[in-house]
């Protein structure tokens, strides 16, 4: 349901908020997380996960959660964000 998807989006934002190079672009008010991430991270992360690039020039991406998003999925995605950002550094 919507409550679950919104909760998973908040969890995702909370889990990546402190990753070097990641900035949550706007408050999480529903089931989407808009984040600014280093441009070099985007293609590496897209090798493992599907998501949309919201603003290519600024490196803003859109991560969506749904009624069937599991906490394990959110944690795995957040860990991948952390690993890739750490490996590639903060540079765009």
Name the burial class of residue 53, with classes exposed (0-12), middle (13-18) and buried (19+) by CB atoms within 10 angstroms of its CB.
Answer: middle
The domains found in the chain, sorted by start residue, are 2-88 (3.90.1150.10)
Residue showing tokens 């690039």: 53
Structure tokens at 9: 């989006």
Reduce the secondary structure of 32-71 to three states and give it as a string: EEEEECCCCHHHHHHCCCCCEEEECCCCEEEEECCCCCCH
pLDDT digits (tens, 9 = 90+) for 37-85: 999 999 999 999 999 999 999 999 999 999 999 999 999 999 999 999 9
Q: What is the pLDDT of residue 89?
A: 77
Q: How many CB atoms lie within 10 A of CB 21?
A: 21
């Amino acid at each position: 349901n919507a409550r679950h998807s919104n909760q998973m989006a908040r969890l995702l934002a909370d889990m990546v908020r402190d990753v070097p190079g990641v900035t949550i672009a706007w408050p999480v008010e529903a089931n989407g997380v808009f984040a600014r991430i280093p441009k070099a991270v985007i293609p590496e992360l897209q090798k493992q996960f599907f998501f949309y690039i919201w603003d290519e020039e600024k490196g803003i991406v859109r991560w969506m959660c749904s009624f069937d998003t599991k906490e394990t999925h959110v944690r795995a995605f957040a860990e991948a964000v952390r690993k890739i950002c750490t490996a590639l550094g903060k540079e765009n």
